[in-house]
Amino acid sequence: NISLSLLLHPRTFSRCSTMDLSSMKPSSNNRRKRKQKNLDPLTDLYAQEDTMDFQLANNNVSGNTVDMSTKQKKSQEKKVRQGGNRSGTQRVTSAHQDAHKIRIVYEDDDILVVHKPRFIACHPSTSHTKDTLVQQVIGHLGGDRELLSNLDCTPEVDRPGIVHRIDWQTSGLLIMAKNTAAHLNLKEQFQKHTIKRTYYCLTHNHFRDAQGVIDVSIGRHHSNPSKRVPLTDALTKKKQTFKDAFTKYKVLQLFTDGSGRNKYSLVRCNLKTGRTHQIRVHLTHVGRPLVGDKLYGSKKQPFQQGAQVLHAKSLGFVHPTTGKEMSFDSELPSYFAEILKGLKEVKVDDRDIL
């Protein structure tokens, strides 16, 4: 078992304060503002993803939070590029991360590795028009979108540099490509399933097995285009396109809340495939939906966190130009750590028959 003290960085908890969230009542003005933003009342509180350390090897550089202003742009580029061109992995540390700012973890002439906080979309769409990851990265590059690959851009979808995506409510690490050659190489690595991606999530209920593999194809919901469904016998007769999906999971810790009635599991997921909502669909399919997942699980938000508790924690790939192995790992964001801190750990030997 991985103890909570080892799993989470000690500095994360040094900033966490104990508070009664149920007693917090925002003013009517604040409620109106949050309603306009379509966010839960306490989204702003939990979206403060501070004390974010990126545990990387070799060279050290100072981190930079991307800002759209011209004033900070040059100093940000200088901080990132001090690590050298294609020099391998680096360590980036921040004392505080703004809820609406991405973070450049690594950058060279061919790629960027970016940390995306929760509630930021990867690229513009009809529902997300401002402050997307793509727009912030372009701002970091001096407003020159030609410094990102346009390989997968279409008149309908403008996503320069995007090689892969994570849900807008999910935090974590992504790779972006600056040119077509790098984009094609990374795309091939994804297609061959050689890129290593690890996610941490908190689910409802305990697991019977400490680890396992979920091998269930996933397809689009017949009436809800934003939702995905697992392939079942009932759906095999319908003319829907399903794709193979493999999720390997390991249960790291088991928890209960203060009452002891509600059970939770901290789970590490490694993806072989990267289907839309794959982890959310697979874990719901086996009866362990993600905490806070309104689309696939309960509408209730037991910790008022505003969305599913899911973080893209680590990333490993081969550099598209140098051929060097690159690996990046991030600490759990503070909202995630705060939730775990408030739960009671259950020893595996002491748990009930599930």
Enzyme catalytic residues: 167
Distance between CA 85 and CA 106 in Å, rounded? Answer: 10
